[in-house]
Structure 1
Amino acid sequence: MKRLYALTTLLLVTVVSCRAHQLDLYLDSGDVEQLIGLAARLYYVRNGRPNANAMKYVLEVPASVGALNLTWNSKSPLAYKAAVSTTDSDLVAPKLDMAHEGAVPDTRSVFAVSLPCAVGSGDADVRLSIRTSANWSSDGATGDVDVAFKKFCVDPRTNGTAVAPETGRAAPVYYERAFFYHMIAAASSLVALAVICCLTTTYRRDKARDLMIIKGFQNNEVNVFLKSALNPSGKFNRANSLPGPKAAPVKAKDLHECIVELSVQRQRVRLQNVELEGTFGRVYRGLYTDPNGKDDEVFVKTVTDQASAVQISVLLHEGLCMYGLNHKNVMTIQAVSVEQHVEPFLLYPYSNNTNLKRFLQNCKTSESISYTLTTREIIDMTLQIISGMQYLHKSRHLHRDVAARNCLVDPELKIQIADNALSRDLFPGDYHCLGDNKNRPIKWMAVESLEHKKFSTASDIWSFGVLLWELLTLCQQPYADIDPFEMSAYLQDGFRLTQPVNCPDELFTVMACCWALAPNERPTFSQLSVFMNEFNNQLVKFV
């Protein structure tokens, strides 16, 4: 059973036959939120009814968590016998802080399962077994409870790294309060009751062992993940999406007309702090004074005096490409100041927001923001990006560079999709030249865009899959070990980014479908919106 299917169903109590008793056994919301990001109790037994799904689910416990606190009580007299065992006693020595047999308390009481790690790195399965009976001598046990854990340990001598069992390479170990902690999945099984499933086959090759090849991209096995997005033939229905060859953005005005409409006097703009800086470009925070004397905070994109005429022209074209669009999740240009013999200013509204890539990278450092991202927050951010991209595509606008670096986020985690003006200069490590003197976001691009320079709504979907991977890895570099010149052949061979260590299976399924080799086998943003809303609703129900 897939782990994320367990996440979305483990709180749906499955009733199995058992003799009547009023036992409650659960993991409290604090521990549940710490381990899997849901602020809800995880009931193994509720009012005497075992939750079969919860007991089948293997709860993963990171090295930073040394004990789990379970709460229990019984409204009727009930005896118990408890035992805890492990598959690797040399690595983990689990203990119960209560007697191994006795009577279940009649009031809510807490007992701990200690999971101390010995010296060494790895993981071990731990099982807590509790047998209960109203009267051992007369009618035997009335119920068995088996709770499964997987405890991870990190040898302190390795300075916070653990050895990935499949690769033998040192991999960083970090835990997010709201995310799953797990090792890289070797293979996924098909879930019969899930509306989302993905049949994947993985194999490794020596020079990129941390990447995965997903079979089935050439057929529809991967596309059964979203029933609501399929037509009766089993194909994705893209009738409401823009056809690839005709998906070019529609511009009502040329560049000169846009500049005339947006032009403001340079004296009304005051530059303040530098937010981002590259070789020839800068992004400032500043103030714009309108004709009524009111000051508005703005972002100002501009170039240095070292910039060439070509670079200035590219800045203006890319900065004005989204002019005229109006959506809460899309940031568009507000004004332009172009005067002779000085660098142009592009003004954007500022609402205490910052670059999404820098924001996510800061979440990994000790100087990170004052809160930790939760699974629900990640899903909400994803839904906002989908909403903005839906609007762009309905407006017949292709973004062509969907990535975290081209999004902004505010303290309330409101997302806006921005243009890619200056991105090549501000994030040079994300762009590569393949001999044609054009820097492109190679590792975010779809196969057809790399090989034939074809862009469509489907190629934006591919890039969105990489952006989702960025959200879940806190902006690790995709395909970090692959040479840009090898990317096209690499993707054609079927290799894709591997599942992040903190990524729910169902979200990885979404990424996998976005990376289908054939453009018409990828979902649309409307279809992704249906799935992500359903997934979000499942999480909300239990918080």
Structure 2
Amino acid sequence: MKYFLPFLLLTFVQCSQFDLFLDYNDVESLMGLSARLYYVRHNQLNLNAMQYPLEVPSFINTLNLTWSTNYKLLYKLTIQSDKDTVLPKLNSLSEGDVPNSKSTFTFTLSCLPNSDIAIIKVLVQVSENWQSDSTNIHLRFKKFCVDNYLNEISNTTEDNRSLPLYYEQVFFYYMIAGGSILIGLAIICCLISTYHRDNARNLMIVKGFQNNEVNTFLKSALNSSNKFNQKSLSGSKSNIKDLHECIVELSIQRQRVRLLNIELEGTFGRVYKGSYTDINGEEEEVFVKTVTDQASAVQISVLLHEGLSMYGLNHKNILTIQGVSVEQHVEPFLLYPYNNNKNLKKFLQTCKTTENLSCTLTTREIIDMTLQIISGMQYLHKNRHLHKDVAARNCLINQEFKVLITDNALSRDLFPSDYHCLGDNKNRPIKWMAIESLEHKKFSTASDIWSFGILLWELLTLCQQPYADIDPFEMSAYLQDGFRLNQPVNCPDELFTVMACCWALAPNERPTFSQLFVFMNEFNNQLVKFV
């Protein structure tokens, strides 16, 4: 691929070539992607691929690594597991010459009874001769073995000699379990709690992504993009209209609005699907944001301010308010155009739980949605508007996968689990916020870029909750220590690098939306060639 991850040059002569990768079939079975996963490509190490263990489900017990070289190259292979309940085995010579033509070497990952998860480490050492320098290639795989021992026992055709060993161990485990089940349950509970905590702490440390290597990679790929001054956008528009002027210009008669069914509902806020009849008698479908009669005056004021924050903007990927009804003694109505749109977060969560194949998203569809969001955010920043709450919950999507960015009016009430109060009586989207916004309440185009990185992660995980195991009060220290979200299983390496760049600690090291648009568009073009 044109844009490769940060890499380290192998210590070989420039005319030589060595490749080591998982081929299409293996990547398809492990990750659901039709692509090769290179660990070494043209003598260049893919550090990102080696840094994170590749997950191997319980039903896959054999992996095939493909390699080739065009000159004399020696190798040594070693494989080991961090748990003795998984028995890794190489099905080839442990040392020799790397083949001159493309070939594979295989290793099996056999699970013993009652095994759960193990980390398998494969070390590939290569050298022109062992008296000179050698290069170590470290590969890691996370093998899942849940319920795998049942399949091993029943599969007598593979290795009949191993059956007595399995039966002996199963009998032994049952004897032990009969006398210590209560103690075992207590230990399991403790281990589960510790595992989740440690797993959160073992998420990606992106200090390697905060150096010049990554930024050079991204900026060199985007040298044709147009830059603009981010600092000039941190303030508000000098000619922005005040709230009263906006309400007067958008004011409509309440009796022309008809509420139909409730689309979203919170403690005090509601979003209706409704209709609006104009002065010519023509009826159109609309969204109506409003509050219940239990809403306070402060909540109503916040609804109006946030709902009118994007008034006057006009872009195909921006949802702009089209009418307001504010009358005494009744709740205000905020009207938006309706085009069979659904909340993006709700839509993605539905895709995760539904069995309907039409809801399955492809990588190309996700990239297309990403490009639309980038286009809308480009427009906002060019018009000196900071969103400050870029997230899937603040986007809409229709049946044609057209995405619209919305304001964040009522989001705190409709999605309460996404917002937290850190003792200052203000609910904020803590886990979407840039470090400088979290610590110093500084917002800029760079902080919107950070939030976009979280949104991209939401798209690829079908709206999993970011940093689910991290306490909101610990987020600042957690980010300062260099921890970030882990790479989604189905996420191409190039997209994960983009996310990591969005989460650079220094705001000036993050890309702009103009740069991201060029990169994502180029990545999309590369993707089309393989489909």
TM-score bracket relative to the smaller structure: 0.5 to 0.7
* Residue equivalent to 1:264: 252
TM-score (norm 1): 0.66
Task: Note if 1:211 corresponds to 2:199.
Answer: no
Q: Distance in 1 between matches of 2:361 and 2:140?
A: 24
Structure 1 position 238, deviation (Å): 8.6
Does residue 220 of the first structure (1) align with residue 212 of the second (2)? yes
Unaligned runs of 5+ in 1: 7-15, 18-25, 43-50, 69-85, 95-113, 128-147, 172-204
Instruction: Give the alignment of 1:37-48 within 5 angstroms.
Output: none
Distance 1:282 1:168, change over 3 A: closer
SS in structure 2 of the partner of residue 363 of structure 1: helix
Compared CA separation, residues 374 and 347, structure 1 to 2 (3 A):
same
Matched to 1:285, the amino acid is K
1:521-536 mapped onto 2 (5 Å cutoff): 521-536=509-524
Verify: 1:478 aligned to 2:432, yes or no: no
**In 2, are the aligned partners of 1:336 and 1:345 still within 8 Å (CA)?**
yes
Deviation at residue 293 of structure 1 after TM alignment: 2.0
Shift of 1:484: 1.7
Per-residue deviation, 1:270: 0.9
Task: Indicate yes or no: 2:491 matched with 1:503.
Answer: yes
Residues 404, 368 of structure 1: CA spacing in aligned structure 2 closer, same or farther, 3 A cutoff? Answer: farther
Q: Compute the displacement of 1:220 (Å).
A: 2.0
Moved more, 364-373 or 283-292: 364-373
CA 1:532/1:265 → structure 2, altered by over 3 Å: closer, same or farther? same
- Matching of residue 408 in structure 1 with residue 396 in structure 2: yes
Select which of 279, 282, 296 maps to 1:308. 296
CA displacement 1:96-153 (0-9 Å, x = unmatched): xxxxxxxxxxxxxxxxxx999886555899x9xxxxxxxxxxxxxxxxxxxx998965
Shift of 1:503: 1.9
Amino acid at match of 2:257: V
Q: Distance in 2 between matches of 1:154 and 1:251?
A: 63
Contact 1:277 1:283 survives alignment (8 Å): yes
Ranges in structure 2 where 5+ consecutive residues have no aligned partner = 7-15, 18-22, 63-78, 90-107, 123-138, 151-187
Q: CA 1:297/1:245 → structure 2, altered by over 3 Å: closer, same or farther?
A: closer
Query: Does structure 1 retain, via aligned residues, the 8 Å contact 2:86–2:109?
Result: no
Distance 1:303 1:65, change over 3 A: same
Residue pair 1:3, 1:504 contacting (<8 A) in 2 also: no
1:359 aligns with 2:363: no
| Mapping for residues 188-203 of structure 1, pairs under 5 Å | none
Residue 348 (structure 1) aligned with residue 340 (structure 2): no
1:155 matches 2:146: yes
- Between Structure 1 and Structure 2, which shows a larger proportion of helix residues? 2
Residue in structure 1 matched with residue 427 of structure 2 by the alignment: 439
Gap change, CA 1:501 and 1:61, over 3 Å in 2: closer
Deviation at 1:62, TM superposition (A): 5.9
Give how far 1:353 is off: 1.3
Cα drift, residue 363 of structure 1: 1.8
Aligned to 2:409: 421
Return the alpha-carbon distance in structure 1 between the equivalents of residues 209 and 148 of structure 2.
42
Q: What one-letter code is carried by the residue in structure 2 that aligns with 1:448?
A: E
Q: CA deviation at 1:540?
A: 0.5
SS of the equivalent of 2:340 reads coil
Are 2:503 and 1:515 aligned? yes
Who is 1:199 aligned against? Answer: none
Instruction: Quote the Cα distance in structure 1 between the aligned partners of 2:455 and 2:266.
Output: 22
CA contact (8 A) 2:31 2:489 kept: no
Distance 1:433 1:441 in 2: 9
Equivalent AA in structure 1 for residue 201 of structure 2: R
| Contact 2:276–2:285 (Cα < 8 Å) also in 1 | yes
Quick one: distance in 1 between partners of 2:210 and 2:242? 41
> Residue in 2 aligned with 1:449?
437
* Aligned position for 1:20: none
Pair 1:169–1:539, CA change in 2 (3 A): farther
Corresponding position: 1:320 with 2:312: no
Q: Is the 8 A contact 1:333 1:346 kept in 2?
A: yes
For structure 1, which segment, 433-442 or 481-490, has the greater mean C-alpha deviation from structure 2 after superposition? 481-490
Aligned counterpart for 1:330 among listed residues 296, 304, 318? 318
Alignment partner, residue 171 of structure 2: none
1:273 alignment counterpart: 261
Q: CA deviation at 1:486?
A: 2.1
Alpha-carbon distance in 2 for matches of 1:217, 1:448: 18
Percent sequence identity is 71
Map Cα deviations across residues 204-241 of structure 1 (whole Å, 9 max, x no partner).
Answer: x959424332224654233123143677xxxx999514
Q: Distance in 2 between matches of 1:158 and 1:523?
A: 48
Amino acid in structure 2 at the alignment position of 1:257: E
| 1:211–1:295 distance in 2 versus 1, CA, 3 Å | same
Please state whether the residue corresponding to 2:431 is helix, strand or coil.
helix
TM superposition shift of 1:448: 1.2
Q: For the residues of structure 2 that align with 1:523 and 1:282, how far apart are their CA atoms?
A: 36
TM-score relative to the length of structure 2: 0.68
Specify whether residues 340 and 124 from structure 1 end up closer, same or farther in structure 2 by C-alpha distance, changes over 3 A only: closer
Aligned to 2:482: 494
Residue 378 (structure 2) aligns with: 390
Contact 2:227–2:514 under 8 Å retained in 1: no
Question: How many pairs are equivalent?
Answer: 422
Q: How does 1:92-241 map to 2 (within 5 A)?
A: 121=116, 153-156=144-147, 208-216=200-208, 219-228=211-220, 239-241=227-229
1:467 aligns with 2:455: yes
Q: Which residue of structure 1 lines up, in the alignment, with residue 175 of structure 2?
A: none
Higher mean C-alpha deviation, range 362-371 or range 334-343: 362-371
Distance (whole Å) between structure 2 residues aligned to residue 475 and residue 239 of structure 1: 31
* Residues 233 and 445 in structure 2, CA contact (< 8 A), matched pair in contact too: no
Match of 2:272 among 284, 287, 300: 284
Partner of residue 164, structure 2: none
Structure 2 counterpart of 1:372, one-letter code: T
8 Å Cα contact 1:38/1:539 also seen in 2: no
Other structure's SS at 1:339 match? coil
Distance (whole Å) between structure 1 residues aligned to residue 42 and residue 211 of structure 2: 35
**Aligned 8 A contact 1:258 1:320 in 2:** yes
**Structure 1 residues 533 and 272 mapped into 2: Cα distance closer, same or farther (>3 Å)?**
same
Mapped contact 1:250–1:397 kept (Cα < 8 A): no
Distance 1:169 1:531, change over 3 A: farther
Deviation at 1:169, TM superposition (A): 7.0
The letter of the residue matching 2:264 is L
Hey, what does 1:192 align to over in structure 2?
Answer: none
Q: Distance in 1 between matches of 2:193 and 2:262?
A: 43
Measure how far apart 1:519 and its partner are: 0.8
What's the offset of the Cα at 1:415? 0.8
Report the aligned-residue RMSD: 4.4
1:36 & 1:480 partners in 2: Cα distance? 23
- For the 8 Å contact 2:227–2:512, the answer to whether it is kept is no
Contact 1:276–1:284 (Cα < 8 Å) also in 2:
yes
Contact 1:268 1:290 in 2 (8 A): yes
Encode CA deviations 1:401-425: one digit per residue, 9 max, x unaligned: 0011101111222111100000011
Q: Secondary structure at the match of 1:259?
A: helix
- Equivalent residue, structure 2, for 1:339: 327
* Superposed displacement of residue 271, structure 1: 0.8
Shift in Å, 1:464: 0.6
